[in-house]
């Protein structure tokens, strides 16, 4: 197989989402990451109350991500045909779960401010 370069992957993703949406999503992801790092540094720790609440949303993130992919591809659980399909679904679910957990924690921490962490 020929090499799949990073440049090609970016080109394909740009075509998939449209240039504006793709880079918009990248910017949002970077901003959320920066905000997350910022609140961790600010509070010098992970606040368990926020983290617990955020974690409770993880299954919702997982289900939402899988549901989203099924809807846009007009398919469903019944179409799973082999191990790689299960692995792909787990990865999609994981991405949704982790993504929403990070987002929820960051939103709480930013809104709650430093005092909320006390």
What tokens appear for 47 in the block? 């606040």
- Assess 95 for contact with other proteins (CB under 8 A): yes
Task: Assess contact for 41 and 92: CB atoms under 8 A.
Answer: no
- Assess 73 for contact with other proteins (CB under 8 A): yes
Q: Closer to other proteins by CB, 2 or 41: give it.
A: 2
What tokens appear for 100 in the block? 């929403």
Task: State the Cα–Cα distance between residues 29 and 99, nearest whole angstrom.
Answer: 9
Cα Rg for the chain, rounded, in angstroms? 17
- Assess 76 for contact with other proteins (CB under 8 A): yes
- Assess 1 for contact with other proteins (CB under 8 A): yes
What tokens appear for 72 in the block? 């846009």
- Assess 41 for contact with other proteins (CB under 8 A): no
**Which of 20, 44, 45, 78 is in the footprint of other proteins by CB under 8 A?**
78
What tokens appear for 65 in the block? 């991500």
Binding site for other proteins (CB under 8 A): 1-9, 11-16, 65, 69, 72-76, 78-82, 84-85, 88, 91-92, 94-95
């Amino acid at each position: 197989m020929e090499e799949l370069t990073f440049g090609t992957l970016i080109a394909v993703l740009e075509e998939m989402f449209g240039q504006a949406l793709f880079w918009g999503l990248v910017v949002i992801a970077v901003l959320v990451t920066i905000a997350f790092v910022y609140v961790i540094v600010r509070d010098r720790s992970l606040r368990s109350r926020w983290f617990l609440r955020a974690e409770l949303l993880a299954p919702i993130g997982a289900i939402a991500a899988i549901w989203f992919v099924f809807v846009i591809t007009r398919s469903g659980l019944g179409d799973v045909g082999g191990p790689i399909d299960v692995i792909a679904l787990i990865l999609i679910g994981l991405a949704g779960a982790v993504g929403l957990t990070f987002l929820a924690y960051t939103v709480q921490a930013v809104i709650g401010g430093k005092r909320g962490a006390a």
